[in-house]
């Protein structure tokens, strides 16, 4: 699993001095996005995130699971992991949260295995399998 130290080594410390060369504004292709009403038109994300995220969203559409993405709850956000000292992988724009209201930290995830597979097949790890379950959370499995 990708750790915050892996991200520091590759992208740098997430702070105000961080260079953002690894980040980009990405317009989600309209053909995909128009079928996903709850996703934003554009996201600010890591360049390494674009292809896996595109693949995951294509999987959602191709597998006819559009209705299962109920809320888009954020991608890039410089912050510590909740209750911990290490940086969240959201700090480097390589993690995304969806359906947060039904998949709170430490709760039993309410997400279908089919929806989870859209992301894990595209190269994401899912927080719903962790000891401290984080069912809303998907992060790149490799960087």
Q: In the complex, which residues of this chain contact Zn ion (CB under 5 A)?
A: 95, 97, 137
State the nearest-atom distance from the C-beta of 64 to Zn ion, in Å: 25
Query: What is the C-alpha separation between 128 and 111, in angstroms, rounded?
Result: 9
Q: Is 74 exposed, middle or buried (0-12, 13-18, 19+ CB in 10 A)?
A: middle
- Return the number of the residue (22 or 90) whose C-beta is nearest Zn ion: 90
State the nearest-atom distance from the C-beta of 37 to Zn ion, in Å: 21
Residues 6+ apart with CB under 8 A from 34: none
State the nearest-atom distance from the C-beta of 28 to Zn ion, in Å: 19
Strands 42-46, 124-126: pairing kind: unpaired
- Return the number of the residue (95 or 140) whose C-beta is nearest Zn ion: 95
- Return the number of the residue (3 or 62) whose C-beta is nearest Zn ion: 3
């Amino acid at each position: 699993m990708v750790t915050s130290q892996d991200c520091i080594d590759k992208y740098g410390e997430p702070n105000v001095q961080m260079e953002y060369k690894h980040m980009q504004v990405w317009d989600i292709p309209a053909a995909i996005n128009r079928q996903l009403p709850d996703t934003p038109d554009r996201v600010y994300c890591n360049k390494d995130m674009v292809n896996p995220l595109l693949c995951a969203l294509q999987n959602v559409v191709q597998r006819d699971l559009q209705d299962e993405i109920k809320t888009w709850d954020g991608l890039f956000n410089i912050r510590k992991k909740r209750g911990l000292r290490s940086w969240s992988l959201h700090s480097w724009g390589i993690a995304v949260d969806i359906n947060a209201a039904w998949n709170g930290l430490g709760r039993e995830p309410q997400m279908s295995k089919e929806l989870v597979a859209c992301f894990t097949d595209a190269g994401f790890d899912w927080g719903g399998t962790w000891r401290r379950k984080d069912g809303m959370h998907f992060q790149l499995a490799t960087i």
